[in-house]
Structure 1
Amino acid sequence: MPSPSSASSPHRKLLHSLIYWAVQRCRMSESPCRLTVSLKSPSELAGPSPLRVSVSDTGVGSKLEEFLELDALARETPAEKWDGTLLITTTGINDKAIYHYQFNLQEDISSSARFSKLATTYKNYTTFSGTEVCLCLSNEADLGEFILWLVDFVRKILVLKAANLAIELAIEQPSSAGSRNVCLPCDSDDAHISITTSSIERLVSGLKDYALSHGNTCEKCDACCMNRDRLKIGTGTAKNVGRRKSKGLLVEAVIVVAPTASDLSCWMVNCSSTQVLHFEDFVPSPISQSSFSVLMSMDWQSYGFKLKGGFMDDEGNAVLQWDNLTFARVDIAVHTYHGVYPLILCIFSFSSGCFGVDIYHWVFQVFSCYP
């Protein structure tokens, strides 16, 4: 699985991993799934009480081996930040029982205390599957920043509009002024999404919504909402099974250009930078250095854009900076994931509506970065 940036806090890397595996379990399910991330912080009067986190899904039951992927993260996380304990509840669709485990990743691998099975409960003739992982984290001083990151992370997942996945984020933060809850609106102006809509079309729709809300802000801009049809779209897709490590790998890229010259009331007029949304296996992920190099080396000027520079931030996000971009705002998303069916390397989807931006070669180069 993709690894979050090493500069990320332990809390962020841990949540990234747990959400990643929950999404993959939902992808393996043949039924619509719900993923719920719940975070409950202690009240201001509770002192150093822990931050309680739950990640649950209704996908296929989990395999305990999945959680061994967290070994390295547990070793690098100070015990005062997280004691390494996971409480896991899981069941498969054909299981009659619901299994409960306590997993301590801070224990030595040979220790018998590392893994313990708790009391089993039973379904009473009902049929369902799913997994819930609960843990307690230290109540960090930067809790507000952590919550903002989590909200932003989940909103980015919504950009993909995965066909069988609904996402809930529940944050309860009691304070002297009362409890504060966060909910994410999932509404869209696009009425053309159906169960048969392809993943690239879903990404186009999601990136349009993202562009119209100016990137993960809660409220859409009145000046832009009326101009959805004016958005210029470029898309490209590549598939391959020729190399063992990239067997079944798909790369999908979308560019949305929003003309802004006439939208003088829009606060994003003449925006000079673009944060590239990068996803791996339906989860936001740091971009690789090789893919970032492709973005930086692309001949943007031949398409009407002048690249001033770019950088990768501490979270592994790519940011492109434009020079004299007075006519438009640019949003870019790249999604790499492993598909179900093996196909020959090809570019099967292509359009060039982005002020002449031909992204055929760009997608091909991004694809070639994967071993």
Structure 2
Amino acid sequence: MEVSSVQNLCKHLIFCAIQRCRMSDELCRISIVLKLCPEFNPPLVRISVSDTGVGCNLKEFEALRYATNPISASKFDGVITITTTGISDNEIHTFSLNINETISSGRLTKLSSISKCGAKFSGTEAVLSTAESLNDLQSDISLFLHKMSMVKLPTVAVELLVDSLGVRGSQLQSCVLAVDCSPLPSSATNIERLKSGLEEYVLKHGNRLENFCQLCFSTAEHLKVGTGMAKRSGTSQSKRQMMEAVVVISETSEPAFPACCRPSGKRTEVFFFKDFTPCSIPQPSLDALTSIKWKDYGLTLKRITDQDDIALLEWENLPPNFHIDIALHSYHKEYPFAGNRQADKTFTRKALKLALDELKETNDKALLSSHALKICNYAPDLAKTIAGLVLSSCDINFKKECFSVLGLQCQKLEASGLENCIKDKILSAIGSNDRKAQRTREPAAILFQNECFQLDFQDEDYEDGEEMFSSLKL
């Protein structure tokens, strides 16, 4: 793997720490410490990434390369000090790794070892020094951890410690993934945790507010959510790979305060996670986004852009104050440290389509197809016409049956109430038919059919449709 900056190297070290914690059966902690060393000229920042997971497998670093250039070479010498021990090891081992070294034999050097004196523990620490700006590193890593908190690892706590004055604890920022505003049971699945994390991100308008925005959302129940999951088939390793997708739709009033405004505006943010770590969306998954038949969900995709490792979808016809957020997560149930895996186009598309279909199925009037939306435009006029026919009829029995179907009482009926009720029935029928999957779509049922009333054309009073309408005295 090749990294092009110290920031990307730090993210890779955090990624490796997460996987070591995933392989542990115990509660784990990951600590990222940034310490300013002003005694050097130029001042250096010491970066430490440590974890209490299983011991480090040095093969993790065998393929690591640093893409040096004149600017980066002056800020980082490519040397990483690795200290590690396994639960069954009697010693703590230290190595020096130079990821700028092209000759394999010169990359890794074994340093001193320290006896554990019979203690039983495991963990790894990777340390490097750079002349990068402390503020830039802190901002970049903070944003990375903010995104990572969305997957809500249940047994891993992550903290960021910043020492800007050479005294530890002078500035502290902490991000604990196992504790959040909406705690989940230990039995919660990964997709349930991803769903909860994306909901919280939306309720905070995508920024790092401590609390949900009560001006726009009182509870998460105001959000429309769909989830989908696909298993990758093929080789034995691929069978362990899963793809999860979560789609959240929110609709708010016009933002009253700057804090309520989303940095992305009305564009949809698509977050991609690989093995519980945020990363840039791979090209196959990006292609999957463009292959979705968005018109089946009433949307027209205008363009896709990439910003800060987040894909942004821009729509042509998104309703006012209507926002869509998407999270995709590709992970392995058992993490193999070798290989560079990416979810393919079909794999991602399947999970995302399942999430969109579930959201559409469980929320009335949400994500109606472009065709259904066109039909809905005729509903008000059609409802007005039908209401006029019913109210103008002199046939009392006919009126009573119409009122019964609509769940209304004749004596309390107003023209506007009847019209709105008929319109809602029409829209409900259109939505119900549109939500059926294309492969199983059947003709729509009788528009006003319900459990307590079915219009039977075999009835002696209404032998057929023609007799029914001829009985109206208009």
Name the TM-score class by shorter chain: 0.7 to 0.9
CA 1:204 to 1:10, structure 2 compared with 1: closer, same or farther past 3 Å?
same
Question: Scaled by the length of structure 1, what TM-score is found?
Answer: 0.81
Partner of 2:22: 27
Deviation, 1:76, is 5.8
Alignment of 1:1-371 (within 5 A): 10-43=5-38, 47-70=41-64, 72-73=65-66, 78-109=72-103, 112=106, 114-140=107-133, 143-174=134-165, 179-184=170-175, 188-191=180-183, 193-220=184-211, 221-243=213-235, 246-261=238-253, 267-268=260-261, 271-313=265-307, 315-323=308-316, 324-340=318-334, 351-352=358-359, 353=362, 356-357=366-367
Larger Rg: 2
User: Structure 1: how far apart are the matches of 2:314 and 2:323?
Assistant: 11
Give me the identity figure in percent: 36
Q: Is the 1:188–1:209 contact (alpha carbons within 8 Å) kept by the matching residues of 2?
A: no
Q: Is the 1:272–1:325 contact (alpha carbons within 8 Å) kept by the matching residues of 2?
A: no
CA 1:120 to 1:195, structure 2 compared with 1: closer, same or farther past 3 Å?
same
SS at match of 1:119: strand
Alignment deviations for residues 149-177 of structure 1 (CA, whole Å, 9 cap, x no partner): 211101111100012211111122239xx
Deviation, 1:185, is 6.4
Q: Is the 1:305–1:325 contact (alpha carbons within 8 Å) kept by the matching residues of 2?
A: no
Deviation, 1:46, is 6.1
Q: Which has the higher helix share?
A: 2
User: Structure 1: how far apart are the matches of 2:367 and 2:237?
Assistant: 30
Gaps of at least 5 residues in structure 1 are 362-371
Alignment deviations for residues 45-100 of structure 1 (CA, whole Å, 9 cap, x no partner): 86512111000111110011211232x22656843221111111101011121111
CA 1:357 to 1:167, structure 2 compared with 1: closer, same or farther past 3 Å?
farther
Deviation, 1:214, is 1.7
Deviation, 1:225, is 4.9
User: Structure 1: how far apart are the matches of 2:214 and 2:155?
Assistant: 30
CA 1:149 to 1:360, structure 2 compared with 1: closer, same or farther past 3 Å?
farther
Count of matched residue pairs:
344
Q: Is the 1:261–1:328 contact (alpha carbons within 8 Å) kept by the matching residues of 2?
A: no
User: Structure 2: how far apart are the matches of 1:181 and 1:58?
Assistant: 20
CA 1:201 to 1:111, structure 2 compared with 1: closer, same or farther past 3 Å?
closer
Deviation, 1:236, is 0.3
Letter in 2 for 1:261: S
User: Structure 2: how far apart are the matches of 1:305 and 1:261?
Assistant: 21
SS at match of 1:53: strand
Question: Scaled by the length of structure 2, what TM-score is found?
Answer: 0.65
Letter in 1 for 2:192: E
User: Structure 1: how far apart are the matches of 2:244 and 2:25?
Assistant: 23
User: Structure 2: how far apart are the matches of 1:145 and 1:124?
Assistant: 40
SS at match of 1:222: coil
Partner of 2:470: none
SS at match of 2:304: strand
CA root-mean-square deviation: 3.2
Q: Is the 2:266–2:322 contact (alpha carbons within 8 Å) kept by the matching residues of 1?
A: no
User: Structure 1: how far apart are the matches of 2:73 and 2:254?
Assistant: 55
More RCO (CA 8 Å, sep 6+): 1
SS at match of 2:140: helix
